[in-house]
Structure formats: C-alpha cells, structure tokens
Amino acid sequence: MPELPEVETMRRGVLPVVGCRVAGVEVLRGTHKPIGVWPRPAALARRVTGQRIVDVGRVGKRVVLALECGDRWVFEPRMTGLVLLAAPPNWEHLRLRVRLSGRGPKELLYWDRRGLGLVRLCSAAEFARRYLSGTLGPDALEITDDQLRERLGGSRREVKVALLDQAAVAGIGNLYAAEILHLAAVHPQRRCCELTLGQWRAIGAAVRHVLQEAIRYEGSTLSDGTYRNALNEAGGYQNHHRVYDREGQTCVHCGRDTVRRIVQAQRSTFFCPTCQPRRGSAAGAAKIAALAATSAGRRKSDKPRPPTGKTKSR
DNA sequence: CCCCAGTCCTGCGGGC
DNA sequence: TGCCCGCAGGACTGGG
C-alpha cells in the first residue's frame, strides 16, 4: 500500500544512487507473471546502460530516476512494490535488478510480491505528458487549502472517496485518507460540496500534518509486513494510527467511542462517529487551528534521520 | 464531464 | 488438517 509517505521514504533511501552509472539491467521472471516493464527488456537495457543517474525524485506515489540523457525512469509500486538498495524481503519476488558502477551502491532492486506495479522508462516529453500535465493533481505535501477546495469543493462525491482521486491531489491513498479525515474531524461520507471553508482548511492542515508525521516515522508497515524502506526496514507510523485498521477499538482521541468500519467505493473506511460527526463541530475547528500552527512551525526543523532528503525534481 | 463498478494480482486468514 | 473463498487497495478501463 505504498502511499506518499512510503514512496517518499523509498525515494530518500535510494538517494545514494545519484551519481552512479547504470552498468546493466536484468528483468527477472520467476514463477509469477512478470510485472509491466516498458520498453521491453532488450530496448530498456540499451537505453539505460551507461547512463548516469542525476537525481531521484517523486511524482505522487512513484519514484523517478532522472538520467543524464533527460529520460525519466519511473518506478510505480502500486500495492506491494518496493524500491530497494538492500536485500529484498524475499528473493522470489525480485522483478528487476539494476547494476550500478561508481562510488555508492552496487545495485538497485525492484521487488513486488503481487506484481501489480510497473516500471516505465520515459522520454522527457512522455514523462511530462503522463505525469505533469493535468493527469496528476498537485502533490499532497504542497497543495494549498485553496487549491484543495477549488479542485474538490464542487464535487458531489463523498470526501473520503474524492481524496483518493490522484487527478485532484497526488499522493493520498486509502490509509492516509482515513487518518486525515479523523484528524480534521470530518465524517468520511460528507459530500465535498457540503463542506464549509473551515472544514477544507481543517482537511488541508490534516493532509500536511499526517503526511509529514508519517514521513518522519518512515511510513506504515501493516501486519502483512510488506512495506519496507530502501534498506528493508519496517516503518513506524502504524503505531500512531488513529483509526486505520482499528475497528472496534476505543478512539485514541475522544477515549469514549469505538472506531467503526464502513465500505466506500469498495474500500474500507475507518472513522470515529463521535470525533467525526455528520455535521461540523466548533470543537473540531478549534483543534485544527491549534494543530495547523504546530505543523507549520515544525516544518523547517523537521529533519529525517539519514540519509537526509533532498529537493525532489519535477 | 463526472462518477462508479469491475479488473488485475498474490498471500493470508476465516470458516467449515 | 486441508481446502476454498473473500479480502487487501494501487491505477486503469469501460460504460452510464
């Protein structure tokens, strides 16, 4: 389930490949159906071999290697994909091995248990067309409250479903949508067009706060253990979840009600009926005002543990 | 245009 | 104990 925090953690983890040259690439086929790789392996090897990696960026939930020729190599993990420098959780599901030369890591690996992910090499023009020109909304870490409201405020969709729309805002998935709405004190089934300006601000503040905290803890590793960072280590944010996967447990905020589970758009949604009433509450708005202040104040001093993050390229 | 249901894929856990 | 079915949710497609 890599969402923005997990993919950002992978991106930071593989930053040491910047400056290395691609010495070769192997597309591995085990007993499973091969993942999507574009172009086909022979053409891929021809285009990437000898190229220097000049940057590691992120676009939504994808890791992007920028090559010196201008091509962008996009790794899209979808449900279970991992971009790794260390040994993978299980060699059987290794899908791609990129051998590197130069000082730094000797190889970069793409692993994917379910094989729903894909790896695509794009020219600069194709990259822009696919990922930068309107098909993907502003990055969730950078979107402003006004942009969020402009892009979703007119929609009749339920707000939790709308937050998953990558064309509106890029990076939020099922887990963090639930966490964000609990912090913002907004019921997941409220329609976007019914939300107040204050509620959109609360959601905006919660988007930034939840995602930054999750990045600080290097993402969420659920009970299936699939998600790992680039060094094959588990994340820590699962210990700080407010509602996700906590059905029937006491709400950590109000301490009185229990977390409920409903299904929206064929996906589980977790929420607390007391903290997220169907109508907005003054208490929720006040809570968010305080939170927004601490979140903004923390941003500059919030250093992840090494390897440290760098500006992403887009 | 907007929105939704169905599809892909594998591992795991519940039920019998 | 072993088997089967349903579920997990990324992005995409086809259709209303």
What pLDDT, in 10s, does the model give residues A70-81?
999 999 999 899
* CA–CA–CA angle A184, A58, A172 (5° rounding): 25
Taking only the tens place, the pLDDT of each residue in A152-195 is 999 999 999 999 999 999 999 999 999 999 999 999 999 999 99
β-partners of residue A250 are: A258
Residue A32 contacts strand C, CB under 7 A:
no
Distance A13 CA to B14 C1' (A): 37
β-partners of residue A36 are: A118
Judge whether A307 counts as a catalytic residue: no
For the cut 50, the answer to whether the pLDDT of residue A302 exceeds it is no
> Of A2, A185, A15, A167, nearest to A85 (Cα)?
A15
Tell me the whole-structure pTM to 2 decimals.
0.89
Strands A118-122 and A107-112: unpaired
* CB distance A25 to A99 below 8 Å: yes
Residue A209 contacts strand B, CB under 7 A:
no
Query: How many whole angstroms separate alpha carbon A162 and alpha carbon A159?
Result: 5
> 10 Å Cβ neighbour count for A254?
14
Residue A32 contacts strand B, CB under 7 A:
yes
Question: Which ranges of chain A does DSSP label H, i.e. alpha helix?
Answer: 4-13, 41-48, 124-127, 145-152, 159-163, 174-184, 197-216, 282-298
